[in-house]
Structure 1
């Protein structure tokens, strides 16, 4: 059913766009809050580097497409329900200015939709545990620790410098770190949407392999190319048009920005200065790029939030507004199960409309 596939692709790109403005604050909040750049300039810069980062590798996309459930349990309705569940949670948290994770909302949405379709046992819980839940805990800890260590080293380096010199140098460094963090954000977050679009295309190929539409048969590059890797496992490459469309949607969404979340990330957790902003963004970049290289879909929101806390703690523990941090932590914990439940309900509703089509 080509019309349903097109609907899924459009909804996926809308999700990617929402992800852009929902998570754009991750990359630019500290830059704007410290006065290094205006909001307009920051979102433009973040959009450009998000686009470049989004076309950097596809390891995360391949995991999302094939690592969460077997293809036999997935059709277009399942993918659509997953996207709707994740999008609903994203919009709720964006509206209230809560920096939750779009990544885990999407993964929760996939798990909930697959479970509604074929039972909870159809979800690859081992993969989710090892490559989603474990990094969910570890990555913020690493980001926090690196930011704290960077700040300790920075304090030692600048201890004899004049405050004005330190501030000017820090502002320049933070401009660079904002670009690298935006790049890393695109390299991980945009790939998740690439993965779910590839998942939809794989499901379509599986169900309609004997009677593909003529235009698809004439343009095989539209569909994922399948091959066996060195471990003997069948893998599907992400089509180039999927990469470019997701990169564009993410960049456009980023340029819209997210003022509500910027206020939380850049001031309510801890009112940072340019040097601390540089430390937080550099730490987040290191963690996210490492995860992207390994094909692990981590939360950029978790990383930068924890890094901001680490930079704040370097001054004094009481400098961090722990009440706000606890509210963010609660949102993190609730994201996976609630997005899964919403997607579960969406699948039931969509089945009533579309039936068993794919």
Structure 2
């Protein structure tokens, strides 16, 4: 063997070794990626506990506050992993945003909504689920709130692991109810309020789905299936963007900014109408200029809906941060209040550091664990494009306004996912309708086999059943878990 052959063989061996090392590094990175996320989450929990310990180190009940702060941070991580996907999923599924862009926008807007317009006052028991005086003592109240906080966080974590978007607010409600029953019996629960919440399980996703389907029908009928799609878009897209702007203006005025200024429904609707009309006028030349040179096909229409969809996702995240974070960290704030003052019946202010834990916890949870649920909502239930995703976002805002008018305690999760289902089922119905019309024009219509018709379904039935089941059992599951945790705490404290 000459030197050249030896060198060639040596280089070939070296290449194989380097290839093995590269493969090993890639495998190590793949296996270690989940561990990195869990490590970051653990660091955040420890940081929240240390922050609470430093802030209340001199207090006699500092251990309780530190423990509650850890559970509150854990709950915030789970909200970010599960709840925020409903706002960003449609935009990602429609390819209007990348996963990284969606996470960045949501993190900023959720944090801004929580810190700028987040709840500054919350009742001692979430949404009047149980009577505070029935709990008797401060210690029992604190145990109940700890049980509610931990049980709701565990349930949302489990739902996220199964890939089911659930309502974090309903999880907290179930946790409070279960701990209240364990502490004071069934008579302590406001069953009328629980009946309203149970009704919202059915009403809010149905209303969200119907509204989203209605807007999608309008877009298909007035724009997509017109001979001159670009001319139709120039006429109707400014009006649709104006409707969206008006709906979100009313939504933010009534829900997202409710803790900065009190605005009734009538005033919010007037604000929405004015803002929507102004947006419609402004968007006419914008859409005309944006549509110049576009081809007369559906792909061109997606461009016109891209920016409105991104803006709607950002506004939904801001409103979610302002409206829902206080419900999630409410039990933590209640524990801090009761530990410091010994009072747990009156309303109280949420400390700023509690809001910080909620805001940053949501951002971390979204960044680390959120992509899975974003994919489920955005692409695994049904296929979305910018027009369909726009219908989902607009439906979410309008349904919340409608529910507030009726006085129904609804979940943004149920509305958004119900709107995704509505869009998917409408597409199935519309496709069947067009197929039936086509058959009437063909002398011998083609019969499609049952298996092929099932394959052509545009909504994954498995996700429908999984998500619906998770919605139904959220309150009872969180309640049962909370009751068990409360009994364990009471036994240890006895």
Equivalent residue number for residue 214 of structure 1: none
- In 1, the alpha carbon distance for the partners of 2:124 and 2:72 equals 17
Equivalent residue for 1:16, pick from 76, 85, 95: 76
Deviation for aligned residue 1:350: 1.3
Equivalent residue number for residue 186 of structure 1: 321
Deviation for aligned residue 1:275: 0.8
Deviation for aligned residue 1:346: 0.7
Determine whether 1:158 maps to 2:223: yes
Provide the TM-score with structure 1 as the length reference. 0.83
Considering only aligned residues, what root-mean-square deviation do their CA atoms show, in Å?
Answer: 2.7
Tell whether the 8 Å contact from 1:50 to 1:185 is kept in structure 2 after alignment: yes
Equivalent residue number for residue 172 of structure 2: 106
Deviation for aligned residue 1:203: 3.2
Moved more, 132-141 or 275-284: 132-141
Equivalent residue number for residue 129 of structure 1: 195
SS of aligned partner of 2:427? coil
Residues 46 and 172 of structure 1, relative CA distance in 2, 3 Å threshold:
same
For residues 35-46 of structure 1, the aligned pairs below 5 Å read 35-46=95-106
Equivalent residue number for residue 256 of structure 2: none
SS of aligned partner of 2:96? coil
Tell whether the 8 Å contact from 1:105 to 1:339 is kept in structure 2 after alignment: yes
Equivalent residue for 1:83, pick from 149, 152, 155: 149
Equivalent residue for 1:2, pick from 62, 76, 91: 62
For residues 337-352 of structure 1, the aligned pairs below 5 Å read 337-352=476-491
Determine whether 1:327 maps to 2:466: yes
Query: How many residue pairs end up in the alignment?
Result: 331
Residues 66 and 319 of structure 1, relative CA distance in 2, 3 Å threshold:
closer
Residues 290 and 45 of structure 1, relative CA distance in 2, 3 Å threshold:
farther
Q: Deviations over 1:158-213 (max 9, x none)?
A: 2331313211112222111211221232233212123222322343356x36xxxx
Equivalent residue for 1:270, pick from 357, 379, 382: 382
Deviation for aligned residue 1:295: 8.9
Tell whether the 8 Å contact from 2:121 to 2:349 is kept in structure 1 after alignment: no
Deviation for aligned residue 1:149: 1.5
Equivalent residue for 2:110, pick from 43, 47, 50: 50
For residues 212-231 of structure 1, the aligned pairs below 5 Å read none
Residues 64 and 274 of structure 1, relative CA distance in 2, 3 Å threshold:
farther
- In 2, the alpha carbon distance for the partners of 1:156 and 1:291 equals 28
Moved more, 133-142 or 240-249: 240-249
| Bigger RCO (CA 8 Å, 6+ sep) | 1
Residues 260 and 66 of structure 1, relative CA distance in 2, 3 Å threshold:
closer
For residues 184-263 of structure 1, the aligned pairs below 5 Å read 184-204=319-339, 208=342, 235-263=347-375
Residues 182 and 296 of structure 1, relative CA distance in 2, 3 Å threshold:
farther
Determine whether 1:148 maps to 2:213: yes
Equivalent residue number for residue 231 of structure 1: none
Determine whether 1:284 maps to 2:396: yes
Tell whether the 8 Å contact from 2:121 to 2:350 is kept in structure 1 after alignment: no
- In 2, the alpha carbon distance for the partners of 1:281 and 1:333 equals 23
Residues 67 and 205 of structure 1, relative CA distance in 2, 3 Å threshold:
farther
Determine whether 1:69 maps to 2:130: yes
Deviation for aligned residue 1:45: 0.4
Moved more, 187-196 or 115-124: 187-196
Deviation for aligned residue 1:254: 2.4
Residues 58 and 296 of structure 1, relative CA distance in 2, 3 Å threshold:
farther
Provide the TM-score with structure 2 as the length reference. 0.61
- In 1, the alpha carbon distance for the partners of 2:222 and 2:314 equals 23
Equivalent residue number for residue 354 of structure 1: 493
Equivalent residue for 2:203, pick from 132, 135, 138: 138
Residues 287 and 251 of structure 1, relative CA distance in 2, 3 Å threshold:
farther
Q: Deviations over 1:216-271 (max 9, x none)?
A: xxxxxxxx9x9xxxxxxx54343444334422322332233423222321222111
For residues 161-172 of structure 1, the aligned pairs below 5 Å read 161=229, 162=296, 163-172=298-307
Tell whether the 8 Å contact from 1:143 to 1:304 is kept in structure 2 after alignment: yes
Residues 38 and 64 of structure 1, relative CA distance in 2, 3 Å threshold:
farther
- In 1, the alpha carbon distance for the partners of 2:402 and 2:117 equals 13
Deviation for aligned residue 1:94: 1.0
Residues 128 and 48 of structure 1, relative CA distance in 2, 3 Å threshold:
same
Equivalent residue for 1:117, pick from 174, 177, 183: 183
Tell whether the 8 Å contact from 1:276 to 1:311 is kept in structure 2 after alignment: yes
Residues 329 and 186 of structure 1, relative CA distance in 2, 3 Å threshold:
same
Residues 137 and 184 of structure 1, relative CA distance in 2, 3 Å threshold:
farther
Tell whether the 8 Å contact from 2:81 to 2:369 is kept in structure 1 after alignment: yes
Deviation for aligned residue 1:52: 2.4
